[in-house]
Structure 1
Amino acid sequence: MKNYLKYISMVFFAGLTFNACETTELDLRVSPNDLAADQADPNLLLNSIQLAYASNMDAISDLGAELTRIDYMFGRDYFNNYPGDTFNGIWSRTYSSGFNDPGDGTVQVGMFTNVSTLETINDESETDYSFHVGVSKTLQAHMLMLLVDYLGEVTFSEAGNPEEFPAPNLDDGASVYAAALALLDEAEGLLSGSPLTLGADDLFYGGDTSKWLKLVNTIRLKAYVTTGDTANFNAVIADGNYISSADDDFEFQYGTSELQPDTRHPDYATDYTPSGANIYQSNWLMELMLDNDDPRIRYYFYRQTDATPGADADPNEETLACSLAVPPQHYIDGGFTYCSVPNGYWGRSHGNNEGTPPDNFFRTAVGVYPAGGRFDDSSFGVVGLGVGGGGAGIEPIILSSYVDFWRADMAGNDADRATLMRSALEKSIAKVQSFGSLDVNADLSVGADAAAVTAYIDGIIADFNAATGDDKENIFAEQYFTTLFGGATEAYNYYRKTGYPTTVLPNWEPNPGAFPRTFLYPQNEVVTNPSLTQKETMTQQVFWDTNPASPTFPPAN
């Protein structure tokens, strides 16, 4: 996603420049970084908000996935893995009101500033820009909730007003959640009248306000499941106007262009290169799916080889050094896979901090879902530019399968949980399998057919119904986390709320430090804002996290 931020900035800046040259007379006495509301193009502002939001979602999802073993995490010490600059880009894309120089010198204006400008334009113009403002407030509300989830406290009441609050204070998480829900109320009011898009590019729903209204309610569901508000959660469900089918899935669509700008899925761009793959996949997730014979495994992962050193091939110190190592005692005691998953699923375990060997044409790459890569048809070819789906994947943000897991989480009995989990798995597998068509050269016949999918789901539900206690909760959480592959923002929340699954791999390091309950504040903001003092640890809990303090929770850490 690092490159994607650059391209977002380039696209927005280019669009702003083009619009200025073609349709307006520039007053050279006015800084182009301080345009008045009547000089700004609402459509470009909306584009910028949507792209900043999409960029943030990719970055936050990656962090959630790493900590919950859905993705691989490099480094043995949690505190050192996630320093103060971890949230710098996310924070600036949310709040920045001027120049922000991430390395390429382009203009980057944050969501808050642009939402405020859109509101001003809508208030002062005879043209109704309710669609622009309603969409923007929806995205703003969701981003505020996620910043609370990951940081604990964020700026809201004093944000976006540098003249009155040059050093804005942080608000407590509960009040920001309440403010975000109020923003959703405003968004609903603006979108309920089916306002015209006025030529705006809706990068998510193509201008369909009915889908945006479903999203508004679904973000409410996200807030209620996170905070355990059963009554309000059930009220939204009873109303029925939320994301419940794949047709309404909330996702960001990538393209296949390699240059000017690179519109491909960021993971595809990183893995499908002339020099091979560059991402390590999670041993925990690959082994879980392999052991379960999960129908999604060939879509999630693309193997470049059919055997893994130390598992079903001879150990190889050059390409997989840990295949010759003796596992540490905490891995031996727990019966965990330290290094090698068989059948060519060549990844890394949680916290592995070994150097980078010449394994780029051996390690498992991202597959056709959601990154638009290759479908794994056991051909064991190599990755490269343009192969598979060319990167035309998606950033899954809130899918109907996720919502069914939320409903199962909030259900009052195990029978309802099982029914909703079945529905979630059916939706997830159907969506994942639909991505096979992106890889036109793949032999999709090696994938699971309808009978195999049914047998898989029946088996999971039977195991869930037969299990008790931790075993039951682990089955549920494992399937939820598997479904969240590619869009794992909520996995981090679930893990801190419940402590499940307890089956996740431990860190390579026996004493990796306390599991992060929240991240450090963005260092750029701490340095420039005298109202902020950086945290000394990452053990501060979010207002909705009422579990025991670290390091005893989550138990698997």
Structure 2
Amino acid sequence: MKKIFAYLLCSLVAGGLFYSCETTELDLTENPNRLTPSQADPNFLLNEIQENFARLVESLGETGSEVVRIENMFGRNYQNNYSPAGFDGNWESAYVGILKNIQQMNVLAEEIGLTRHIGMGQVMEAYTITLLVDYFGDVPYSEALDETNLNPAADGGAAIYAAADALLDSAITNFTNASAGNPQYDFFYGFDWSKWVLAANTLKMRLAINTGDFAGFNAIVNSGNYIQDSADDFQFQWATNDVQPDTRHPNYAASYTSSGAGGDYMSIWLMNLMQESADPRIRFYFYRQTAETPGAPGVDPNEETLGCSLTFPPNHYLAGGYAYCSLENGYWGRNHGSDEGIPPDGFLRTAHGVYPVGGNYDDSRFEGIAVGSGGAGAGITPMLLASWVDFWKAEVAMATSPAAGKQNILDGMAKSIAKVRTFLNLDPDADTSVTPLDADVNAFIASIDAAFDAADDTGKMNIMAEQFFVALRGNGHDGFNFYRRTGFPRTVEPNLEPDPGAFIRSFFYPANYANTNSNATQKTGVTDQVFWDTNPSSPSFPPAN
């Protein structure tokens, strides 16, 4: 018995939306929801891989952002904040949507010499498997895609990193050599294979800095063959379609709703840091729907819309002088670990801005957000940016001499700001007269320059880490790694709970994996350190919970 199954693959490209549709007659003795290798087209598989990859990086990057205060974290107890079941979707996306699809694509691509398809898959596979190691520790890899093995054993993180490094070397070869044909779509670099080589080498740099291989890191720096210019950034461009399928940036889709801002609250720590330092990116990152926050100086509290505006800061916030609950000028968010319920604040709280999610630019219009407003969701998921590389270079230099990284920090800031400013064009309703001028940017960079010179060695590391975290908005993966590598910045606000438990060094394994694989053992807590995290155990490290 056979039925017709419509397989619809909708693929994104910058500035537009393209549909690739194929109707295939499937035998129902096979899974009717997936193409078999004999029925699949390597282009369809690669298109699906690229989107699944972007969604995985976006989702786990959001989690990394939350624990290091780039985004807001809900829940006061680290042990219980992120449940195993909450990672089931990420696990399926990684192993089925990305790795299994890559395996099937390679069977077809190798037969006809589509080396560029294979190279793209190798970069995404290397990024994916190291992402899993960085968040979960030892995970299945060498046995993971064997369909006859229902209980694949985990590989050590170091072995997976080595496999990823080898994949990247092979990818570089595949991008350099001739191919029998190009993919249907390349949503990252538009078939510029020299830029794919830059991305592969830059990912190798991330692996090197995580493992402390500074010699290997510097060898790539000396080669010059890595992402140095924002024009070469490795990122995924979302589109503006809102139904069937929703191709908007996931945070835009969750936040710009008919009932106002949904999803996330903005991080008070990050907004306060940027507001106090006159950071010119603040209007791009955050969109204020109101000019005043209850409980701020000169503003009455409001129990209904912001309950904490009627409460005193916890003692450890008072002692440390951390901003609590209500910021000035309408920056309405939440502190790290807030577990309050959701009041009627959808048209009051600060929402995601035009960067990186494609929302509204904050020109002080103080109007409620609407579905389709601003950039309509045509934002990006950043994956490897030139500005981030400058901060990696600063970290390596500062390991020898804290003062030595200053120019790299300033370079990273300048690249980040220049990139963010280009997003103003996404919001057609923005009042462009309310934008930072070159003089404002120069004054801000000069203030960080002066503060760095005046700081002691610890202060220098704090400044570098703060500016790195600001530049990371949109993907906190490197922030989570950096915080575990260095323990900086030590200026992050603590959890609202005075005793939140030890900081997360890796997350629980997904429930589906731990509960169904006889070779898997669920962790007892979140303090298991990944192989490259050789710092003292929690709670003594990192210094702030």
Normalised to the residue count of structure 2, the TM-score between the two structures is 0.94
**Cα-to-partner distance string for 1:188-214 (whole Å, 9 max, x where unaligned):** 121111535445211111111111111
**Cα-to-partner distance string for 1:73-103 (whole Å, 9 max, x where unaligned):** 111111111111232111111213xxxxxxx
In the TM superposition, residue 174 of structure 1 has moved relative to its aligned partner by 0.8
Aligned partner of 2:15 in structure 1 is none
In the TM superposition, residue 186 of structure 1 has moved relative to its aligned partner by 1.6
Matched, 1:224 2:224: no
Distance 1:34 1:74, change over 3 A: closer
In the TM superposition, residue 35 of structure 1 has moved relative to its aligned partner by 5.0
Aligned partner of 2:406 in structure 1 is 418
Aligned partner of 1:531 in structure 2 is 519
Pick one of 329, 334, 337 that aligns with 2:320. Answer: 334
Q: Please say if residues 402 and 457 of structure 2, whose CA atoms lie closer than 8 Å, have aligned partners that are also in contact.
A: no
What is the number of equivalent residue pairs in this alignment? 529
The letter for the 1-side match of 2:101 is N
Displacement over 2 Å in runs of 4+: 8-12, 15-21, 25-39, 194-199, 412-416
Alpha-carbon distance in 1 for matches of 2:9, 2:254: 19
The letter for the 2-side match of 1:417 is G
- How do 1:184-333 residues align onto structure 2 when only pairs under 5 Å count? 184-195=168-179, 197-278=181-262, 279-312=264-297, 313-333=299-319
- How do 1:99-114 residues align onto structure 2 when only pairs under 5 Å count? 110-114=97-101
Matched, 1:360 2:363: no
The letter for the 1-side match of 2:87 is F
More strand by share: 2
Alpha-carbon distance in 1 for matches of 2:517, 2:213: 34
SS at match of 2:381: strand
Aligned partner of 1:511 in structure 2 is 499
Unaligned runs of 5+ in 2: 1-6, 12-17
Alpha-carbon distance in 1 for matches of 2:432, 2:491: 31
The letter for the 1-side match of 2:224 is G
In the TM superposition, residue 217 of structure 1 has moved relative to its aligned partner by 0.2
Pick one of 543, 550, 557 that aligns with 2:531. Answer: 543
Q: Please say if residues 298 and 367 of structure 1, whose CA atoms lie closer than 8 Å, have aligned partners that are also in contact.
A: yes
**Cα-to-partner distance string for 1:89-120 (whole Å, 9 max, x where unaligned):** 11111213xxxxxxxxxxxxx32211111222
Q: Please say if residues 267 and 371 of structure 1, whose CA atoms lie closer than 8 Å, have aligned partners that are also in contact.
A: yes
Q: Please say if residues 20 and 26 of structure 1, whose CA atoms lie closer than 8 Å, have aligned partners that are also in contact.
A: no
**Cα-to-partner distance string for 1:350-388 (whole Å, 9 max, x where unaligned):** 011111111111100111111111111111111001111
Alpha-carbon distance in 2 for matches of 1:273, 1:34: 32
In the TM superposition, residue 17 of structure 1 has moved relative to its aligned partner by 9.7
- How do 1:461-476 residues align onto structure 2 when only pairs under 5 Å count? 461-476=449-464
Q: Please say if residues 361 and 383 of structure 1, whose CA atoms lie closer than 8 Å, have aligned partners that are also in contact.
A: yes
Pick one of 90, 99, 102 that aligns with 1:115. Answer: 102
Alpha-carbon distance in 2 for matches of 1:172, 1:213: 27
Alpha-carbon distance in 2 for matches of 1:416, 1:142: 30
Distance 1:556 1:541, change over 3 A: same
Aligned partner of 1:378 in structure 2 is 364
Q: Please say if residues 403 and 460 of structure 2, whose CA atoms lie closer than 8 Å, have aligned partners that are also in contact.
A: no
**Cα-to-partner distance string for 1:152-204 (whole Å, 9 max, x where unaligned):** 111111110121x3210111111110111111122112111153544521111
Matched, 1:155 2:120: no
Aligned partner of 1:57 in structure 2 is 57
Alpha-carbon distance in 2 for matches of 1:523, 1:374: 37
Alpha-carbon distance in 1 for matches of 2:168, 2:182: 22
**Cα-to-partner distance string for 1:203-241 (whole Å, 9 max, x where unaligned):** 111111111111110000010111111111011111111
SS at match of 1:553: coil
Alpha-carbon distance in 2 for matches of 1:235, 1:49: 31
**Cα-to-partner distance string for 1:43-83 (whole Å, 9 max, x where unaligned):** 01111211111110011111110000000011111111111
Distance 1:406 1:9, change over 3 A: farther
Pick one of 334, 338, 354 that aligns with 1:348. Answer: 334
Instruction: Output the aligned Cα RMSD.
Output: 1.9
Normalised to the residue count of structure 1, the TM-score between the two structures is 0.92
| % same residue | 49
Alpha-carbon distance in 1 for matches of 2:302, 2:30: 63
SS at match of 1:308: coil
SS at match of 1:446: coil
**Cα-to-partner distance string for 1:385-420 (whole Å, 9 max, x where unaligned):** 111111111111111101111111112444541111
In the TM superposition, residue 338 of structure 1 has moved relative to its aligned partner by 2.1
**Cα-to-partner distance string for 1:457-506 (whole Å, 9 max, x where unaligned):** 11101211221132111111100001101121110000011111111111
Distance 1:9 1:67, change over 3 A: farther
Alpha-carbon distance in 1 for matches of 2:472, 2:341: 28
Unaligned runs of 5+ in 1: 1-7, 97-109
